[in-house]
Structures are given as C-alpha cells and as structure tokens.
Amino acid sequence: MGMGNPLLDISNEVTEEMLTKYDVKVDSAILAEEKHMPIYKELAEMPGVQYIAGGATQNSIRVAQWMMGEAGQTAYMGCIGKDAFGEQLKGCAQTDGVLVHYMEDEETPTGTCAVLVASGERSLIANLAAANNFKESHLETDLAKEIISSSEIFYSAGFFLTVSVESLLKVTNHAVDNNKIFCLNFSAPFIIDFFGDQVAAALPFADYVFCNESEAEAYGKKHGLGNDGKDLEAVALKVAAMPKTSGVRARTVVFTQGSSCTIVAREGKVTKYDVTPLGADLLVDTNGAGDAFVGGFLAQLTKGADIAKCVDAGHWAASIIIQRSGCTFPEKCEYA
C-alpha cells in the first residue's frame, strides 16, 4: 500500500531560458510558490504538452503493480479534487490494476506537477492543491481499514511528509504492531532541509530508506554525517544504524545515483550494484526514474527476494521508464 500526493503531471520540453525565468534548477524538485503559478498555463499552451498520471508514490505503486502482474496486489491512497484531472489519475491507476481509494475534496482542484524536461533531465514544480488536504480521518473509512489490514508492505515518498505526518504515523504504528514492513523515500533535498522534524518522526519506523545521490548528500550535510555528505557510503551506513522503533529487521538503506552504481547499506556493510549504461540516444526523460526503481524493488520485496534481486528489478524498471515519456510502461512486463 502506498500513501502519497496524487498529482497529474503537465509535462513539456522547455528551454534553459524558461528554467532561468522561473528560477528553477535542472533536476530539482520543489513546491510551487506564487512566482511559479503562471507556468502551468504556459506549459499547457506550448505545443507537445502531455498530461500524465504522476505523484511519486503513485508512480512507484503503479510500477510495482505492473511488475507483480495480477490486478489488485497493490493499493494507493491520497487526496484528489472532484474534477477531470482527478478522474484521469484514477483511471490511469485503475487501468494499471491498482486498487485506489482516494479521499475527494470538493472545493479544491486535483494537484498538478509541472515537469520541465530540458536535455533529458527533469525539474519538478508541484502544486499540491487537493493533495495537501489528505486527512487522517480517511484512514477510518471501511475500505481504508481493509486495505491497511490486508497490506504487508507500506510505502510513502517523503513528499507526503509535508501533508499529513499523523496519517503516516498511523500507518507506521500499524506496521510496527503487526510486524509489517514500512519503506520511506527522502524524495527531495527540500524535504530534508525544511521538513527535518517530519523526516525525523518517520525515519525510526523505516525498514527501507530510498533516495538518490543529491538527497543522500543533503542528508549527510544537514546532519553532519559522512564528511558532510561527501562520502555517501558512510552516510548510508549511518542512516542504516540510526534508531529503529521495531526491534525486528535491520534497516536497509538504498541510494541510487542515476547512471552510477546503487549503494546499499545494511548491518554495517555496504554493497554496490552497477547500473547498465543506457545509450544517450535511448534516454527520453529521467522523470520517474527513482520512482520506478522503488516500484521494481518493492515488487520483488513482496516475493521475499534477496536484496540483489530487488535492486536488479529496480534498475530494470527504471531503465524502461527513462526510455519513455513520464512514468509509463508497455502493457506487458517482460522482467524475468
């Protein structure tokens, strides 16, 4: 089960000038401020605009569902508005076989995410809107209770920490009380830098922690670990060794690094897994690479696979998604 911010991605190729105009860094992820608001309309009016189901957690769950095959193996919750964008998000997840149980906010539009693709890299500006209004009360609905009690693995991207820590803690406490697995993603440097208390509240519950190299570095820098984030293997080991609420299972920390090797730390030991290089001509956009990695990883984790296999499935899923626009995949999953 995933819980997160359901967002419809409004994606388009942009120039470096447009990034500069909106004060956006390449390969960054931020929350929209007032100055960013005109960008959604601007993107929509440019030729080639695409509307694609997004939201980091929902992407990972869709990918996991795709790789697990049989419909209804995964579930997802988050808050959408009562509008066409919300319908599109729901339709996409349902078509992929995910059991979705959205909270619906009648007064607020569905959240959107501007995806600015410039020379293969993506920058994200999220306008959370309805996604920001998820409430713990939704977890008291009959269907939510049923989903939670029948789920074995829970996952949230760190982005959800800006919305409802109470909801997250309700789920993490259920996981601890029932010997289930909780997985957390740091998701973006701004989460680490500006939502440090929320990260600190969730981290002790995490059996698995995922992030990319820039988030790992930001975490090391903020907490003075691994030579202030310059030594990522040391950061991974420290995060793995941090206090854990459940006494069972050592924490596993997974840092992806784009085309460079993936670092895994567990029980005082680091293992590195190479990424198969992808020719530049095959790369379409890296939007969703990390989300897809997590989806592939979790699909294998549900089968009780070892870490090497989980990472392999993560790398495979990511390689498929970056050869396509947005977090999309072919109908059939050919992963063996």
Which residues in this chain contact Mg ion in the complex, by CB under 5 A? 212, 258
- Contact, 64 vs 299, CB < 8 A? yes
Q: Which of 226, 290, 295, 326 binds ligand ADP (CB under 6 A)?
A: 290
- Contact, 124 vs 326, CB < 8 A? no
- Contact, 291 vs 329, CB < 8 A? no
Q: Which of 245, 259, 302, 323 binds ligand ADP (CB under 6 A)?
A: 259
Residue nearest to Mg ion (CB): 258
Tell me which stretch binds ligand ADP (CB under 6 A): 147-155, 162-170, 243-251, 317-325. Answer: 317-325
Q: How far is the CB of 262 from ligand ADP (least distance, A)?
A: 5
Determine if 151 is a binding residue for ligand ADP (CB under 6 A). Answer: no
Q: How far is the CB of 208 from ligand ADP (least distance, A)?
A: 15
Tell me which stretch binds ligand ADP (CB under 6 A): 33-41, 78-86, 126-134, 281-289. Answer: 281-289
Residue closer to ligand ADP, measured from CB, 133 or 287: 287
Q: How far is the CB of 278 from ligand ADP (least distance, A)?
A: 4
Determine if 257 is a binding residue for ligand ADP (CB under 6 A). Answer: yes
Question: What are 210's strand-pairing partners?
Answer: 185, 254
Strand order in the sheet with 29-31: 29-31, 121-127, 111-118, 7-13, 50-53
Determine if 293 is a binding residue for ligand ADP (CB under 6 A). Answer: yes
Tell me which stretch binds ligand ADP (CB under 6 A): 18-26, 88-96, 300-308, 318-326. Answer: 318-326
107-134 as b/e: b if 16+ CB within 10 A:
ebbbbbbbbbbbeebbbbbbbbbbbbbb
Q: How far is the CB of 81 from ligand ADP (least distance, A)?
A: 27
Determine if 286 is a binding residue for ligand ADP (CB under 6 A). Answer: yes
Query: Would you state the structure tokens that stand for residue 320, as one six-digit string?
Result: 């498929």
> Which residue of the set 96, 105, 207, 291 is catalytic?
291
Q: What is the DSSP string of 277-298?
A: P--TTT----TTHHHHHHHHHH
Find the farthest-apart pair of alpha carbons in the chain and give their distance in angstroms, rounded: 54
Q: Answer yes or no: 291 catalytic.
A: yes
Determine if 156 is a binding residue for ligand ADP (CB under 6 A). Answer: no
CB-count burial class (<10 Å; 0-12, 13-18, 19+) for 283: middle
Distance CA 52, CA 178 (A): 36
Determine if 50 is a binding residue for ligand ADP (CB under 6 A). Answer: no
Tell me which stretch binds ligand ADP (CB under 6 A): 85-93, 143-151, 174-182, 282-290. Answer: 282-290
Question: For ligand ADP, what does the binding mask look like between residues 209 and 248, x meaning CB under 6 A?
Answer: ---x------------------------------------
Q: How far is the CB of 3 from ligand ADP (least distance, A)?
A: 19
Residues that bind ligand ADP (CB under 6 A): 212, 256-259, 262, 275, 278, 283, 286, 289-290, 293, 315, 318-319, 322
Residues assigned a catalytic role = 291
